[in-house]
Every structure is written in C-alpha cells, then in structure tokens.
C-alpha cells in the first residue's frame, strides 16, 4: 500500500503538480485576504476615532459619526461582492502607452467620476515573465495610502487583460513639464527633488523598491505636487514578487511530495539545490538584506544637503513651485497625444506566442488580482471627509 502511494506521488504529472500548487496559492490568498480585510477595517475605525478626538466632538455627534461609518462599512461589504468590469467604464482617450499596454482616461458610468485606467495584456505578462512585477505593482497600490503615491481604487481582469483603475492626475508627468519649461529655477529644482526624495522614502517604508525612477514616472496632481506612478518594475519582500517564484511553480511542491521515493543521497542533493530559495527573502545575488537600511541612510543624508536642507524643516508644506492650469476634470492638455488602439477589442489577438488556451491554463497565476478600495465604493466614489489625509 505504501509502495503504491509512493509510486503515484513520484509519477505525478505536471498538470497534477500545477493543480496542487494552484490549490496552495488559492488557500494562502483566501486567508491572507481575510486577515488584511479585518486589519483594514480596524484601521479605518481607529482613524475615525482619532479624527473625532482631534475635532473635540461631543458624545452625540460621535455616535452619529460612528453610525454613519458602520453604514458605510456594511455598504462596502455589499458592493465588494458586485462584479466590476470593463462595461462599467467609458473610454475617453488614450493618455499613455508602454511596452505591455496603455493608459486610458475613463469615466465610471454610474458615478461620472474620471479615472486613469492602466491596461496590461496577460499574454505579454506571461511571455516576458512579468507576473511577479505586476503582482508587486498591484500589492503596493493596495497597501499605499499616501500623498506620495498615485491612489488605486479598483483592479480587475478579464480573459485577455488586467486593469488598474487609478486616480487621474491632470498635471501630467515631470518629463512633459521639463520639455515645456526647458530650464527650471533653482527654487523649483529644490522643490521637486525634495518631493521626489519623500516619495521614494514613503515606498521604502512599506518595504518596496520602485527600481524605475525617472521623470516619466513622476506625475503631478492638480495642485502641482509630485506622486510616484508606474510600479511595473517594482519589487518587495514577498516570494510572489519574484520572477523565479512563477518560473519554478511546477517544482514548488510540498516537501512530502518532493522527498517521497528518494534515497538519502538524492534528498541531500535536492536540499542543496533548493536551500538558497528556502532561505532567501528577496533577490539573491542582486540585493542584500541590508538594502532597505542602506537606502534609508542614503535618503536620510539627502535631507541634510545644504541645497535641500531648508525644505525639510519641519515638514514640506508649501504651495507647488509651478502651478498647474486645469480647465476641467478631464483636461488632458498636459499629456502627449496618442492614436487610439484596439487593445480593448476581444476579437484582436494578443501580440505574443500564447494562444487563448495557453492563457486559460495559466490564468490562475493572476488569482487575487481583483481589488476594491473603501473610498471607491462608499459615498459613490467620493472620499469621506473624516478619511481624508492632511495637507502636505
């Protein structure tokens, strides 16, 4: 009986191995989501209590605020169960294009709110081994609740594409500003360098590394302040953010399956081959465990440079160096012109070697990509006043 069990495990097909890994990832994601949802709800409650204490509200007013907050939490749970898709948005214009997809200005049909929709082709993500990067991008946008990072409200997927629905920043990017102005004043240069340093520091504090800082990825909001965007090359400390994790999924079986029907010599060889993977947190041979400590020190030292020192005392709270002129909520005058494309047409085949059958068989690597932010589903897309963060 034992021999039969060992034989069946050793002769397990790649399909069965993939199903085992898929079940493992699905269960991990399910319980991880439960924990994070509970923590987020607790944090929102604590934030509400803190704001009410700061405003010095009486018991009656606090009770009304708590009741309103509880109603919104209930509404949030109900709306989270509704399916969000491409049909809920109207495409207005292409405002950006990259190697793996494009960014469109869209309007949500039920609320009229305007967003930036980032569209990524699944086939290209698989072919170019970008699954770990897009997972890291989605995760940091979920975790980030900062003035320095573009806010994501929703993420979802269909058979062909991944979609990120983010706030639309009408100021354009730093590259466009530099091309318009040609030369910045010393004061403006100080301002933008200082805000960029604070933005990078904010994502390092969340244990993520951007790895693609350039003027094109520094966006400007309607007031002219800097926000980091495009985390397509970002990475974090989770295994799911590493390319090797998805490259070796078929071999990442539980140890009971891996070591059955092996003699002692083969077990030792297998352990030696996999030990670096078992004991590495992030990127062996590229980044050391001290990367975040070193980056913190280097960013900290930048604050004390004579060129920037005055801007960091005590906090960077001042008007933007260059005001942004916005004529309407869908003003795209600060973006380049791009021709329309057929990326949203389901009949168009993706530019890759992956067929639709290949996509379907590997689609499970995008499990848990869907996300809905509390502020996006309550108050019909508006942010409750007591949930807003302070000024810069």
Domain limit, last residue, from 42, 61, 81: 81
The CA-based diameter of the chain, rounded to the nearest angstrom, is 80
Backbone angles phi, psi at 5, to 5 degrees: -65, -45
Active site residue 212: yes
In this structure, the answer to whether residues 111 and 40 fall within a common structural domain is no
Domain holding 311: CATH number?
Answer: 1.10.510.10
pLDDT in tens, the chain (392 residues): 444 444 445 567 777 877 787 787 778 777 877 887 888 889 899 999 999 999 999 999 999 999 999 998 988 888 888 889 999 999 999 999 887 889 999 999 988 999 999 999 998 888 888 888 888 899 889 988 889 999 999 999 998 999 999 999 999 999 999 999 999 999 999 899 989 988 998 898 888 888 889 999 999 999 999 999 998 888 776 655 555 555 555 444 444 444 455 566 665 666 555 554 544 444 444 454 555 455 545 666 666 565 666 565 444 567 889 998 888 888 999 998 888 877 776 544 444 555 566 666 677 788 888 899 887 765 544 444 433 444 45
In a domain, 194, yes or no: yes
* 24 and 67 share one domain: yes
Closest CA to 124 of 149, 171, 81, 160: 160
pTM given for the model: 0.72
Contact call for residues 180 and 325 (beta carbons, < 8 A): no
d(CA 248, CA 25): 14
Active site residue: 88, 124, 145, 212, which one?
A: 212
Residues 6+ apart with CB under 8 A from 386: 47, 48, 51, 52, 65, 69
Residues 231 and 90 in one domain: yes
240 contact partners, CB below 8 Å, separation of at least 6: 132, 135, 136, 139
Query: Do 155 and 55 have their domain in common?
Result: no
Is the domain of 90 the same as that of 76?
Answer: no
Known binding residues: 118
Q: Is residue 363 part of a domain?
A: no
Q: Is residue 239 part of a domain?
A: yes
The total number of residues written for the chain in this structure: 392
The answer to the question of residue 111 being in a domain is yes
Q: 218, exposed or middle or buried, with CB in 10 Å at 0-12, 13-18, 19+?
A: buried
- Whether residue 305 is found in the same domain as residue 174: yes
Are 195 and 223 in the same domain?
A: yes
- 71 and 109 co-located in one domain: no
Counted domains in the chain:
2
- Asked if the structure places residue 380 within a domain, the reply is no
Q: Which domain holds residue 41?
A: 16-81
State whether 332 and 195 are in the same domain.
Answer: yes
Decide if 272 is inside a domain.
Answer: no
In a domain, 225, yes or no: yes
Give the DSSP H/E element, type plus range, for residue 183: none
- In contact, 136 and 235? CB cutoff 8 Å: yes
Q: Degrees (nearest 5) of the Cα angle 374, 375, 379? A: 110
Q: Is residue 167 part of a domain?
A: yes
The answer on 77 and 49 residing in a single domain is yes
Is residue 198 domain-shared with residue 308, that is, in the same domain?
yes
Distance of alpha carbon 297 from alpha carbon 197, whole angstroms: 12
Same domain, 315 and 168: yes
CA distance 375 to 371: 12
């Amino acid at each position: 009986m034992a021999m039969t069990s060992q034989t069946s495990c050793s002769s397990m097909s790649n399909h069965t191995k993939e199903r085992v890994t898929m079940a493992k990832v699905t269960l991990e994601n399910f319980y991880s989501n439960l924990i994070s949802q509970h923590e987020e709800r607790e944090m929102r409650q604590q934030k509400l209590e803190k704001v009410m204490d700061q405003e010095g509200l009486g018991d009656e007013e606090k009770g009304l605020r708590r009741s309103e907050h509880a109603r919104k939490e209930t509404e949030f749970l109900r709306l989270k169960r509704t399916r969000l898709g491409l049909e809920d948005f109207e495409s207005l214009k292409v405002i950006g294009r990259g190697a793996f997809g494009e960014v469109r200005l869209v309007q949500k049909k039920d609320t009229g709110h305007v967003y930036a929709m980032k569209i990524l082709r699944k086939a290209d993500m698989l072919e170019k081994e970008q699954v770990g990067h897009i997972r890291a991008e989605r995760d940091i946008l979920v975790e980030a609740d900062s003035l320095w990072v573009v806010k994501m409200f929703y993420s979802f997927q269909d058979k062909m594409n991944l979609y990120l629905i983010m706030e639309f920043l009408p100021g354009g990017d730093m590259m466009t500003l530099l091309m318009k102005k040609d030369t910045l004043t010393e004061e403006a240069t100080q301002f933008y360098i200082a805000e960029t340093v604070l933005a990078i520091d904010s994502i390092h504090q969340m244990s993520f590394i951007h790895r693609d800082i350039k003027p094109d990825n520094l966006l400007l909001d309607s007031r002219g302040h800097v926000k980091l965007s495009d985390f397509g090359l970002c990475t974090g400390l989770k295994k799911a953010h590493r390319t090797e994790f998805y490259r070796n999924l078929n071999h990442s079986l539980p140890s009971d399956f891996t070591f059955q029907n092996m003699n002692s010599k083969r077990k030792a060889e297998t352990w030696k081959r996999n030990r670096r993977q078992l004991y590495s947190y992030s990127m062996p041979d590229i980044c050391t465990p001290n990367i975040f400590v070193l980056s913190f020190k280097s960013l900290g030292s930048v604050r004390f440079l004579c060129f920037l020192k005055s801007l960091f005392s005590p906090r960077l709270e001042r008007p933007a160096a260059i005001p942004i002129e916005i004529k309407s909520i869908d003003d795209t005058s600060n973006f380049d012109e791009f021709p329309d494309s057929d990326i949203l047409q389901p009949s168009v085949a993706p530019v890759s070697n992956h067929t639709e059958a290949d996509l379907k068989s590997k689609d499970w690597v995008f499990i848990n990509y869907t996300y809905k932010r509390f502020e996006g589903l309550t108050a019909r897309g508006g942010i409750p006043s007591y949930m807003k963060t302070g000024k810069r």
